[in-house]
Structure 1
Amino acid sequence: MPRASEIFNIAFDAADPRRLAEFWAVALGYQLEPPPDGFGTWEEALVAWNVPEADWDSASAIIDPRGVLPRLLFQKVPEPKTAKNRVHLDVRGWRYGAGGEVPPEAERLAAAAAKVAELLAAGATVVATVEEYGNTWTVLQDPEGNEFCVT
């Protein structure tokens, strides 16, 4: 039987990879990826790998501290974002209960509002709040204008 493919990165184009990595670490509860084993810092690793200093800011990554969810890679590109995203992330502000139960609506809305406030402080901007078919979510943009939703 063939082995199923797995996601090892979700890659984002960016003007400032480190800034976007820091933003999305806050948004998702991730952490900046630590340097590889044997290196105290990323700079030590890049020097050892003979990466020119001009390229040191070409990428940044964040990882799920639990080691469960995919790594997010932010890679520098020369061109700016020019159109609406074709793919975006949805961020849930609330958590399931210990038994897997969905919290009451008021609790979910309060948690989503708190997450939106946290992300605004981290550099997001609000595009719109949408109420549709009994659901409510907020559309935001990250510091480089990439749209995402918080529910």
Structure 2
Amino acid sequence: VQDILDDYNFIAITERMDESLVVMKMLLNLTTKDILYTRARSSGGWSNGPPERPCVYIPPSFLTPGMKRYFASPEWQQTIRGDMLLYEAANASLDRTIQALGQDEFQRHLNALREGLKLAQEHCKGRVVTQCNEGGESIPFVNNTC
């Protein structure tokens, strides 16, 4: 795990995306505008894919009772042990980086991002153009999207 952490200058945590983006912003001296995003895709819809298949369906996520049992099993926990060690180490690294940058300063930047995300969501509502329509057909590139 330490070798992996040593190989990377920064590892973002998906479950802590806003915090990860703010740390990256502060480390790279970016602006809030540089890290703003909108949610254009979700499970149960179409997303962009490779050139030969530009629209790919993302099925809704689900867990069957059997899947839940397996994921709770010692066998699965042993299988993902290394992944969990890396995940925990990356989370701890993110926490240490936040402390090193200064908790108050980090919180100020995080609040600015969250305010920017709210404004972007309001401004872009109904204006985000994806690469695929609801029928899974590719839409030509549009340059005037949010």
TM-score range, shorter chain: under 0.3
**Rg comparison, structure with higher value:** 2
Counting helix residues as a fraction of each chain, which structure ranks higher? 2
* Higher relative contact order (Cα pairs below 8 Å, separated by 6+ residues): 2
